[in-house]
Structure 1
Amino acid sequence: MISHTNSLTQEKLLDFHEGRMIDAYRYFGSHIKGDETTFTVWAPDVTTVTVICTNIKDDIEERFPMATHPLDSTVWQISVPRMTMGYRYEYEIETLQKEKLRKVDPFARASEKRPQSRSIVQPESIYVWPDSVLANKRAPNPQHYEEPMAIYELHIGTWKRTKSGRFLTYRELAEEVIPYVKKQGFTHIEVMPITEHPLDESWGYQTTGYFSPTSRYGSGDDLKYFVQKCKENEIGIFLDWVPGHFCVDLHALALFNGTPLYEESRPERRMNPDWGTLNFDVRKGEVVSFLLSSSHYWLDEFKFDGFRMDALVNLLFVPNDPDRTHNKDGVAFLRTLTASLRHHHPEAVLIAEDAWHYPKVTGDIEEGGVGFHYKWNFGWMNDVQEYMKTPPAERSRVHGNINFSIFYHYEERFISTFSHDEFVHGQGSLLNKLPGTYEEKFHQLRLLLGFWVAHPGKKLLFMGQEFGHFDEWKFQPQLDWHLYDFKAHRQMALFTKELLTFYKGEKALFELDDKREGFQWLDADNSKQSVASFVRRGRSPENECIIICNFSDKHYPDFQVGVPSKGVYQQIFSTDFAHYGGNSEQQPVLVLAREAPFNNQSQSIEINLPAFTMSIWKKNWDRSEVE
């Protein structure tokens, strides 16, 4: 039996039960200490708990009855007098009704590869992080609001496979995806959930192992290697993490002691019928400690740069309530979570997925907010895609889809997303959503991504869209990399690369993302021509950019647009450049502003504006007239 004096003290147990423990993984689960292996599990209101260990060399089960902790009858422990590294294990729990359940360890740090599900005894990691990684983890970055952020959303299992069809390991992935993402101009990778899960097609969102990196792609140390290589290449890495709901599979958390333990005790809030998952009961201190500890574990142990937190709708709003009543319990938990992470990991970036627009998700807790840094902009994503799916001749009637987002943009800090959810279940890829001929689709995809980059907010793009993936995303072996054999797709990849490179170099496109003074409409209401024009500003006047987006299939050879001051304006970017597949040569285009007030500006310029084109103009401060 473990001595409570060197493990779970009275103080630690109180922290666990009252929802204050952030490192429960150090006390619960399996741990090798010398020639002994300790097992600790929280299992209240049960008759007995037995740990069943199996040495995979001989596949013989050994049973070790556990005893309750001397200070806490809800915690069961045992010290097995041998070193069991690599052993598979489960807990056999006998309920008060004499039913025997086999459960994996909620705090397991490794798990068998599906379809097997047992937990695996792991030694403490001896992975040595470089000093540069450790130093960066200690350095808060309050300036990320004013820096470029272009996130590549990655599903590891379907990005690319080996020639034999095998998953890439974390180490193999590091050698392939990091150079690719860096070359394409992205600043961050967001990894879709890699917490252990039984079903590939759940994409990782139905978790069974909240402390266990999925064994599909290798070991925990392999994952650390991948994270380290991201950091060495100056690529930030976020983990998609699911704090609100979990998998219903009975070998894991569901009905852990024969009754709702981790899941909601209120039946009407327990199940998510759309997802087939169970909601956590965040009123229980032990569940809060479990989730807090999971979040800290991934940052402490694996050095991720932050989280995108999935499906917060059932924490921000009462589950299964058609009136969308605010969920006081869920919001209180999220504030506890974000406050804890901000305190202990000030360098971490916290991103929320909230599709129902809870107020002040990115507001400071002290001012009534929830404490996230960013949230996904679902409104913008849905409006813009509906607009672009509309045939050009009919876009004038839905022109408000293009300009509406600015009405609410400055209420939160947003990430403009084109995420995986938009390219599944018959919705088509970005390219294939667009109307028109094959060539027109590419013209419009460049226009759409140009508008995405020019619009205020950080950026996220799902894998494959950067080169014009034609089919929607399915859980197929890998992306359609053979499309690089076709010129149009190679040009699309080149365009995305140069667009993101341009974005990272123009401070007007990111420096004042969350400040009203960083944006001004020139003409938001030109529905007749299906054109939107606006100004983006940085902190210096020299950064100011004029953006003109022609969403119509009409060419406007003498398009007039207002500009803030007199001088020479130069086109610095266009989605219509010929090497992208457009019709314009990439050469300096200069126009002189004239004193012809337009768009509420004192000056205006006339430009050539091809169909389906986004162009960006900037005052050339070194020229006083057109040469």
Structure 2
Amino acid sequence: MVKVKQRIEDFASGHELKLQEILGCHRKDSGYVFRVWAPNAQAVWLVGDFNDWNKTLAMQLTSNGVWQIKTDLPQTGQLYKFLVKQADGREVMKMDPMAVELEPRPGNAAVVTELPNKSWHDGAWLGRNKRSNHFARPINIYEVHASSWKRHEDGSLYTLRDLQRELIPYVKKQGFNYIEFLPLTAHPLDASWGYQTIGYYALERTYGTPQELQDFVEACHQENIGVLSDWVPGHFCINDDALAYYDGTPCYEFSEKWRAENKGWGALNFDLGKPEVQSFLLSSALFWLEFYHLDGLRVDAVSNMIYRDYDRGPGEWKPDKYGGNRNLEGMEFLRRLNRTIKGLHPECLMIAEESSAQVKITGRIEDGGLGFDFKWNMGWMNDILNFYQMDPLFRKYHFNLTTFSFMYRMSENFILPLSHDEVVHGKRSLMNKMFGPRDKQFAQLRNLLTLQMTYPGKKLLFMGSEFGQYLEWRYNEALDWAELNDELNSKMQYFDQKLNEFYLNEPSLWQLEQKDESVQIIDADNKDESVLTFIRQGKIRHDFVIVILNFTPVERKHFSIGVPYSGKYQEAFNTARKEFGGTWDKDVQTMTTKQEKFKNLDYQIELDLPGFSAMILKPLDAHIKRGNRRKK
């Protein structure tokens, strides 16, 4: 009892990192003990199947606002809630914030249960992952919404068991090496995609059971596929029977109404400076990483946690103590979150979804960052998608959209996201954003994905984009797999498979991403022809590729580009080839240099460049003369 009391004090001071072992439901002797934090409640009762949901089991207030009861009545599998007499006297049925399993929707009662004690068989993956330098290896993420990737013929949802049978082999075949799920935490409505969380320790029941998620992750690891999940520590669902004003007063949310209300999402913002909230969220993050062996978390909506004026108009917010717009508590919480997780699990990836450039997000905390490993490059994504939606006739006037991100690429450690957010709410699918008729749309989608795969930064692609789904994503339906009966969609899927394979096997595309020498621009000024050329460099001098992107439908014959060494070069990848859905059926091009300067390079080659194509060239052999390095 002394140990529990001490851990409750640790919770109250913000230092408990395994809160699920203290609060919630736990077997004790022949019965169960239940604990819940409701510091300003007048009374709390345990109600459930075992007492016909009546007020017969009054809980006792112990210390630090924690109520407790031990009883032999509940049986494994029965449902329960807490009936909370709130500070104003109103009695409200509340779910257990610490529940690890909930009943199926539409209810949200917790299940009396004990977590499985799994014997894991993923040691080889964990060992390799701990020894790995994430920054110097390929990361290619397939983003998935668990209930709309596929569905059964009768429309019923795939469970994690179904996904284990079908999604894992698909991802492996397509050449992705990570799966990132939209939030797996419990949520009351599919339309929120998981971002309106009610259960920070509970797996969304429509996806399956805790054991099934453990088995899924283990099966991924056995196929050398990592598993990430989105996690939402900034705001939570406003539902009255969940976390919101749990005891009738602000518990998890800010006490100041303007800070608590999240108008844009109809949610409530966590008070990230409150010690109990810190214990709650830090424990949640570690629970998903440790209990389910997840390989990292993508923290959603970081801007909402670091700016006081986020989603606020003039007069709707107050400055911080320094007169600025920083959410100082939120920033310190994020530093603590990353410091805690990286201290215990340095191999786990911490990724931020953040759209501003005022605060450094990645990098060491000691150097002024928030401690994240990677940040989504929203600027690159917005510029690139705006460019590809444009009539090619006018692209030369906006060519800087393809090149501006080179200027700041070293400012953060980036992931290049083509995510779910870009293919909903009338934005159209990735394929249907492309300008022009259908065959040209596919050509440009191949071009876009090649740009993403060759540009410095880790990669993320939302499901369905790999085969060019025409309709935008619908959360309540499966992807339109019938489209693969169309030759262009089928060839698009094959193209994505081969492109991913090329990326995973080409060290120059990922070895030196955190260094300036990773990229050498050949020509970023060819606006009139709208052709961009650059070099990606690996650790070894002759491990490099040359990337050529033609953003117009015009074929460029005898097109000249600069190269760094004399010798022969050969086409290694060409998005316009027939096997990928294009029309190019000529022989693979081999080019010999001529000694003629091109900008700051000493040599040139000529090639034929198909319209809307992306081409990747490689030196034909490794015997390029050492004396022919470009002059600096």
Please give the range of the TM-score, normalised by the shorter of the 2 chains: over 0.9
Long gaps (5+) in structure 2:
315-323, 626-632
RMSD of equivalent CA atoms: 1.7
The partner residue of 1:30 within 25, 31, 44 is 25
Letter in 2 for 1:222: E
Contact kept, 8 Å, 2:306 with 2:328, in 1: the verdict is: yes
Aligned to 2:274: 284
The partner residue of 1:173 within 163, 182, 203 is 163
Q: Tell me how far 1:616 sits from its aligned partner.
A: 0.8
In 2: Cα distance, 1:437 partner to 1:95 partner: 61
1:105 equivalenced with 2:100 (yes/no): no
Q: Tell me how far 1:20 sits from its aligned partner.
A: 1.4
Contact kept, 8 Å, 1:447 with 1:612, in 2: the verdict is: yes
Q: Tell me how far 1:600 sits from its aligned partner.
A: 1.7
Letter in 1 for 2:111: I
1:229 equivalenced with 2:219 (yes/no): yes
Aligned to 2:173: 183
1:497 equivalenced with 2:492 (yes/no): no
Number of aligned residue pairs: give it: 615
In 1: Cα distance, 2:260 partner to 2:40 partner: 20
Aligned to 2:206: 216
In 2: Cα distance, 1:29 partner to 1:241 partner: 21
In 1: Cα distance, 2:128 partner to 2:267 partner: 36
| SS of structure 1 residue aligned to 2:148 | helix
- For residues 394-434 of structure 1, what are the alpha-carbon distances to aligned partners after superposition, in whole Å with 9 as ceiling and x for unaligned? 10111000000011110100000100000000000111011
Change (3 A) 1:138 1:86: farther
Show the 5 A alignment for 1:402-551: 402-551=402-551
Show the 5 A alignment for 1:134-149: 136=126, 140-149=130-139
Change (3 A) 1:394 1:68: same
Letter in 1 for 2:205: S
The partner residue of 2:109 within 112, 118, 121 is 118
- For residues 582-621 of structure 1, what are the alpha-carbon distances to aligned partners after superposition, in whole Å with 9 as ceiling and x for unaligned? 1223743211010111132100001100110110111122
- For residues 546-568 of structure 1, what are the alpha-carbon distances to aligned partners after superposition, in whole Å with 9 as ceiling and x for unaligned? 11100011110111100011111
Q: Tell me how far 1:130 sits from its aligned partner.
A: 1.7
Further displaced range: 434-443 or 83-92: 83-92
Aligned to 2:58: 65
Q: Tell me how far 1:73 sits from its aligned partner.
A: 4.9
Change (3 A) 1:586 1:49: farther
In 1: Cα distance, 2:624 partner to 2:336 partner: 57
Change (3 A) 1:485 1:202: same
Q: Tell me how far 1:542 sits from its aligned partner.
A: 1.7
The partner residue of 2:299 within 302, 306, 309 is 309
Letter in 1 for 2:485: D
- For residues 319-374 of structure 1, what are the alpha-carbon distances to aligned partners after superposition, in whole Å with 9 as ceiling and x for unaligned? 44458822211100000000000011111011000012243211201111100000
- For residues 234-262 of structure 1, what are the alpha-carbon distances to aligned partners after superposition, in whole Å with 9 as ceiling and x for unaligned? 10000111011000001100010101110
Letter in 2 for 1:53: G
The partner residue of 1:85 within 76, 85, 98 is 76
Aligned to 1:195: 185
Letter in 2 for 1:39: F
Contact kept, 8 Å, 1:53 with 1:62, in 2: the verdict is: no
Contact kept, 8 Å, 2:271 with 2:277, in 1: the verdict is: yes
| SS of structure 2 residue aligned to 1:529 | coil
Letter in 2 for 1:94: K
Show the 5 A alignment for 1:603-618: 603-618=603-618
Contact kept, 8 Å, 1:194 with 1:214, in 2: the verdict is: yes
Letter in 2 for 1:606: E
In 2: Cα distance, 1:597 partner to 1:349 partner: 44
1:247 equivalenced with 2:247 (yes/no): no
Structure 2-normalised TM-score? 0.95
- For residues 4-38 of structure 1, what are the alpha-carbon distances to aligned partners after superposition, in whole Å with 9 as ceiling and x for unaligned? 23x5233x223211211110000000012342111
- For residues 480-522 of structure 1, what are the alpha-carbon distances to aligned partners after superposition, in whole Å with 9 as ceiling and x for unaligned? 0000101000000000000000011111111111211100111
Letter in 2 for 1:619: P
Contact kept, 8 Å, 2:565 with 2:624, in 1: the verdict is: no
In 2: Cα distance, 1:408 partner to 1:18 partner: 40
- For residues 41-76 of structure 1, what are the alpha-carbon distances to aligned partners after superposition, in whole Å with 9 as ceiling and x for unaligned? 111012111110214xx966573111122xx15111
1:377 equivalenced with 2:372 (yes/no): no
Contact kept, 8 Å, 2:47 with 2:53, in 1: the verdict is: no
Change (3 A) 1:367 1:296: same
The partner residue of 1:13 within 8, 12, 18 is 8
Change (3 A) 1:622 1:23: closer
- For residues 175-198 of structure 1, what are the alpha-carbon distances to aligned partners after superposition, in whole Å with 9 as ceiling and x for unaligned? 000000100000100011110000
Q: Tell me how far 1:579 sits from its aligned partner.
A: 0.4
Contact kept, 8 Å, 1:316 with 1:358, in 2: the verdict is: no
Letter in 1 for 2:339: A
In 1: Cα distance, 2:128 partner to 2:403 partner: 40
Contact kept, 8 Å, 2:43 with 2:86, in 1: the verdict is: yes
In 1: Cα distance, 2:263 partner to 2:104 partner: 27
Change (3 A) 1:487 1:36: same
Further displaced range: 72-81 or 210-219: 72-81
Contact kept, 8 Å, 1:138 with 1:347, in 2: the verdict is: no
Contact kept, 8 Å, 2:567 with 2:619, in 1: the verdict is: yes
The partner residue of 1:76 within 67, 71, 75 is 67
Q: Tell me how far 1:139 sits from its aligned partner.
A: 5.7
State, as a whole percentage, how many aligned pairs show the same letter.
39
- For residues 89-109 of structure 1, what are the alpha-carbon distances to aligned partners after superposition, in whole Å with 9 as ceiling and x for unaligned? 111111232111110001001
In 2: Cα distance, 1:100 partner to 1:388 partner: 55
In 2: Cα distance, 1:22 partner to 1:80 partner: 26
Letter in 1 for 2:114: P
Long gaps (5+) in structure 1:
none
In 2: Cα distance, 1:131 partner to 1:427 partner: 40
Q: Tell me how far 1:578 sits from its aligned partner.
A: 1.3
| SS of structure 2 residue aligned to 1:475 | coil
Q: Tell me how far 1:169 sits from its aligned partner.
A: 1.3
Further displaced range: 265-274 or 438-447: 265-274
Structure 1-normalised TM-score? 0.95
| SS of structure 2 residue aligned to 1:129 | coil
